[in-house]
Structures are given as structure tokens and as C-alpha cells.
Amino acid sequence: MKTFAGLSLDRPRLMGIVNATPDSFSDGGEAFAFEDAVRRGLEMMEDGADIIDVGGESTRPGAVSVAVEEEIRRTVPVIERLVKAGALVSIDTRHALVMQAALDAGAAIVNDVSALTGPGSLDVVAKTQASVVLMHMQGTPDTMQDNPTYQDASTQVLNALRGRVEMCLRAGIAKHRIAVDPGIGFGKTVENNLQILQRLKIYKDLDLPVLLGVSRKSFIGAIAFEPDAQKRLPGSIAAALWAVEQGAHMLRVHDVTQTVQALNIWSAIKTFED
């Protein structure tokens, strides 16, 4: 049975999203203040999240970068409080200095949208015992949706992640510390996202845990004609259940309570013996 960051993956695990930012695409500003971010994380723990993912820089399409010092200021105090409360915390960042500060504060996982391609990032993770999520992104947050282009998105994304995994292994990061994320919505069209989701089973070739983030994503809005990200829960749950049926091990979500209920029903039906 696979494990990741000390969690058994015998059932789908949930990563709850805490955006300590004023400008995230679906909940911008709601958890920006320190106490709001901590409260959000604690509530998610109580509701059943297995990991709390704390981020201090929005990576929505078109987002501008944040100074590293500001990102640290937004995230480290939140991480310290959540770790003290017993949370398993991941830091959502693409910057080595933020990774180091977060790990020093007690985070156990680095969740990097750039798959440790930033200066110094690979070294920071390699010299610690932290687990890492390597996500695929074509371009950068400010340019990724300008003109994403693939001949075969599902295969190309898989192969790109395979290359990053090999780089990590060569750097001394043990395989059991690595998970991958195909990066739904990060430099991909609606059609690209659907192809990747439809063919998620090809990730079995990597023999690694797969994290998937579909919660409130714009492709759901495009298909469902719903411009308001906070009204995309039904579509988010539909995509999440499809993903776990195809073998995804972890889901990164905004709506923990509702996703837990959906997974419980899915599991009960799947495992029922008449």
C-alpha cells in the first residue's frame, strides 16, 4: 500500500486549501488575515482534511508574483499555529526561500506548481526529509493561459512529470517522498484538461501517489456555464469522484465537508457486498 508524508493511501485523502492571499481565483481575501487563515485550516481539519495546504501567492491565471518576504510573512505564522494544533501541513510555493522557511516552521510537504524547477528548490527539498508534490505547469502563472499548446496533452504532461521525478531521484529525494499532480488548469485548455482527466489511469506507470486539484476550476465553469467559482461545487465533486475512480490518491479541495460526504457514499457503494 502506498503512503505519502506518513499517510496511508488506502483511501482517498483530502488536502484542504488555505489561501492566505488577497487575490486567489475562488476565495480571494477570505483567509488573507492571519486569524482567518488559521480558523479556515482548523475547520478543515475538523471536517476531515488530512493535509492543510497553505499558500501565500496566488497562482491563478494572470497572477503577478509576490515578494518572497511577503509570502513568508503571510504563510509562516499560519503554518506554526496549524502544526501546533496537530495538522499535517504543506506549503504551496514555487520559491526555495519560502519552502525553507515553511519547513523550518513545521511544514512536512512542499507542494510546488513548478515541480522544483525554481532556483534552489531542488536542493532545499533534497537536504530535508520533506515530501514533495511535483505539479505540471506549461509556462508561468502570469502567462500559462495565453496560448497553451500540446499535441497530446495527457502523454506530454505525464512524460514531463516523469522527467521531474527522475531529476528528484538523482538529487537524492527518495521515491517514497514524491507525489505528482498533472496540474489541471495550469497552462491547459478545457479540452486538454478533459483529456488528462479521461486518461488518468496512465499515471499508474509512474507508480507514485497522484494528487489532483479540480476544485472550482475554470474548466468546470466553462462546461457548466458558471462564471462564479464559488458556485462550482457540484462540478468539482463530479470531477473528484471521476478522478478517484481512475486511481487518484489525493484531492486538493476548497469544500472539505461536502467532498468527504461524497467520498463516503462513493466508497460505501464501491465496497458494498450483498
- 170: nearest Cα among 215, 224, 216, 116: 116
Tell me which long-range contacts 241-244 makes (C-beta under 8 A, separation of at least 24).
Answer: 241/266, 242/197, 243/197, 243/200, 243/212, 243/214, 244/12
User: Cβ–Cβ contacts within 10 Å for residue 86, how many?
Assistant: 8
Instruction: Output the pLDDT for position 62.
Output: 64
Q: Which residues of the chain have pLDDT under 50?
A: 25-29
**β-strand 51-55 against 13-19: which pairing, if any?**
parallel
Rounded Cα gap, residues 52 and 109, in angstroms: 10
Residue 25 confidence (pLDDT): 43
Active site residues: 217, 252
CATH number, span 12-271: 3.20.20.20
Q: Domain residues of the chain, as ranges?
A: 12-271
pLDDT digits (tens, 9 = 90+) for 41-82: 999 999 999 999 999 987 766 667 789 999 999 999 999 999
